[in-house]
């Protein structure tokens, strides 16, 4: 009897909890939809993704000024929102209003967003894309009048104190009225970050693969009234790195100095790809050690298999050499060999190995015979020569 009563009690409690769950869960789901319907009068677009224990939803009006047929007046476009929810319960934790210069009637739209580095630009010279663990969301916003906008705002969010909060924006400082502001409706807390001219180019990537976010920033000088807006012209490039929530000039890129492109570049998506390649090539040249031949020889001399070879007992009439054989634009090729004396007038060389050392990185890019880090021979390489 006791057993039946226990089972019956369990079933009743299961039904009650199940009923409560089904009652409450859709309401949490519905609350976001109701919020968006009321905020945007039913005209909105969203972008959502799971980041850790959170769901992030970016919502904005689906109509822009002068965009036919979705025309809407300047003061009718609603303030964009960034909504943070618990991934499981769907409880809304934060509702950030995105404002730029104006408290109401914001004519701003999302230019681009990046969740957890999943859309960082990839460079062809990157061996592996570094995982940025401390960045939850990057959003760029543009003040949008229907034509040339004029201002651009940035907000980078971190996971902090069990929530996703704005951590930083563009570098520098501008008057408060020129800031982009994010205000949490639920806590009334505000975050303000400087604006930039929207004709500038910016992109985000871990350029030097150290696990931190870097901002690739480019600008061009425009003489208003004398030049067309999209006329190709030189761009001025600079890299900033994110340190302790603030952007600072990256000293490791072009010695921290601005770089002027040698060619005129326009303002299209293709031109942006050109800029990215230039950022990459300047970084490669900035990080280049530009090794001398003596330095390359020293690197080869220090390899475990070469040390072991040089320690062998060679005939007294023979000599062992570690010499530079030839140099190309990117490589220094070092020859390790024994000069064998066959007679007083004749001799030959017995090669131990050939090594091609990268001038920039100092790494042995390839060798005729491959060895492991303990000096044990693995195989004859099929990658030699490197170039």
Q: Alpha-carbon distance 347 to 178, whole Å?
A: 79
Residue 74 confidence class, pLDDT cut points 50, 70, 90 = very low
Residue 21 has pLDDT above 60, yes or no: no
Residue 317 confidence class, pLDDT cut points 50, 70, 90 = confident
Containing 25, the helix (H) or strand (E) segment is: helix 2-40
The whole-number pLDDT of residue 25 equals 42
Domain ranges of the chain: 23-119+128-198, 199-287, 293-380
Closest CA to 336 of 361, 309, 359: 309
Residue 368 confidence class, pLDDT cut points 50, 70, 90 = very high
Indicate whether this model's pTM tops 0.85. Answer: no
* In contact, 36 and 44? CB cutoff 8 Å: yes
Number of H helices, E strands in the chain: 4, 21
Q: Which residue has the higher pLDDT, 153 or 78?
A: 153
The whole-number pLDDT of residue 191 equals 92
Residue 266 confidence class, pLDDT cut points 50, 70, 90 = confident
Q: Alpha-carbon distance 234 to 219, whole Å?
A: 9
Containing 32, the helix (H) or strand (E) segment is: helix 2-40
Residue 26 has pLDDT above 50, yes or no: no
The whole-number pLDDT of residue 231 equals 81
Q: Alpha-carbon distance 250 to 241, whole Å?
A: 5
**Main-chain phi, psi angles of 162, to 5 degrees:** 60, 30
Q: Alpha-carbon distance 83 to 80, whole Å?
A: 10
The per-residue pLDDT of the chain, averaged, comes to 81
Average pLDDT over residues 108-137: 68
Residue 236 confidence class, pLDDT cut points 50, 70, 90 = very high
Residue 96 has pLDDT above 70, yes or no: yes
C-alpha torsion sign, points 96, 97, 98, 103: negative
Task: Report strand pairing: 369-371 vs 163-168.
Answer: unpaired
* In contact, 88 and 95? CB cutoff 8 Å: no
Q: Alpha-carbon distance 208 to 213, whole Å?
A: 9
Q: What percent of the chain has pLDDT over 70?
A: 76
C-alpha torsion sign, points 328, 332, 333, 338: positive
Residue 199 confidence class, pLDDT cut points 50, 70, 90 = confident
Q: Alpha-carbon distance 353 to 369, whole Å?
A: 6
Residue 4: helix, strand or coil by DSSP? helix
The whole-number pLDDT of residue 27 equals 41
Q: Alpha-carbon distance 215 to 208, whole Å?
A: 11
Residue 321 confidence class, pLDDT cut points 50, 70, 90 = very high
Residue 176 confidence class, pLDDT cut points 50, 70, 90 = low
Task: Report strand pairing: 190-196 vs 201-205.
Answer: unpaired
Residue 149 has pLDDT above 80, yes or no: no
**Main-chain phi, psi angles of 22, to 5 degrees:** -65, -30
- Report which listed range, 173-177, 233-237, 341-345, 381-385, is most confident: 233-237
Residues in CB range of 165: below 8 A, 6 or more apart: 94, 157, 158, 191
């Amino acid at each position: 009897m006791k057993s039946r009563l226990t089972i019956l009690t369990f079933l009743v409690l299961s039904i009650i909890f199940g009923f409560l769950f089904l009652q409450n869960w859709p309401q949490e789901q519905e609350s976001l939809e109701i919020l968006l319907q009321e905020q945007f009068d039913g005209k909105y677009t969203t972008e959502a993704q799971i980041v850790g224990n959170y769901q992030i939803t970016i919502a904005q009006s689906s109509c822009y000024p002068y965009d036919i047929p979705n025309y809407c007046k300047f003061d009718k476009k609603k303030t964009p929102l960034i909504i943070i929810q618990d991934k499981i319960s769907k409880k809304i934790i934060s509702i950030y209003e995105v404002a730029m210069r104006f408290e109401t009637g914001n004519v701003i739209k999302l230019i681009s967003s990046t969740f957890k580095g999943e859309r960082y630009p990839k460079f062809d010279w990157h061996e592996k894309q570094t995982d940025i663990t401390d960045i939850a969301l990057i959003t760029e916003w543009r003040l949008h009048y229907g034509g040339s906008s004029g201002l651009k705002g940035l907000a980078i969010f971190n996971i902090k104190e069990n929530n996703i909060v704005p951590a930083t924006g563009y570098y520098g400082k501008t008057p408060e009225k020129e800031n982009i502001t994010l205000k949490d409706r639920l806590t009334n807390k505000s975050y303000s970050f400087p604006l930039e001219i929207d004709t500038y180019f910016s992109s985000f990537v871990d350029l030097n693969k150290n696990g931190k976010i870097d901002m690739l920033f480019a600008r061009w000088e425009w003489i208003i009234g004398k030049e067309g807006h999209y006329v190709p012209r030189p761009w001025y490039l600079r890299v900033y790195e994110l340190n302790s929530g603030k952007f600072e000039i990256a000293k490791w890129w072009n010695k921290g100095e601005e770089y002027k492109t040698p060619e005129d570049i326009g303002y299209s998506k293709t031109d942006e790809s050109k800029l990215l390649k230039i950022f990459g090539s300047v970084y490669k040249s900035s990080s280049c050690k530009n090794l001398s031949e003596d330095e390359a020889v020293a690197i080869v001399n220090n390899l475990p298999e070469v040390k072991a070879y040089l320690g062998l007992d060679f005939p007294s009439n023979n000599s062992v050499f570690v010499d530079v054989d030839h140099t190309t634009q990117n490589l220094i090729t070092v020859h390790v060999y024994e000069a064998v004396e066959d007679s007083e007038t004749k001799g030959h060389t017995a090669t131990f190995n050939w090594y091609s050392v990268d001038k920039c990185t100092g790494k042995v890019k390839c060798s005729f015979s491959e060895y492991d880090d303990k000096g044990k021979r693995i195989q004859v390489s099929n990658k030699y020569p490197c170039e």
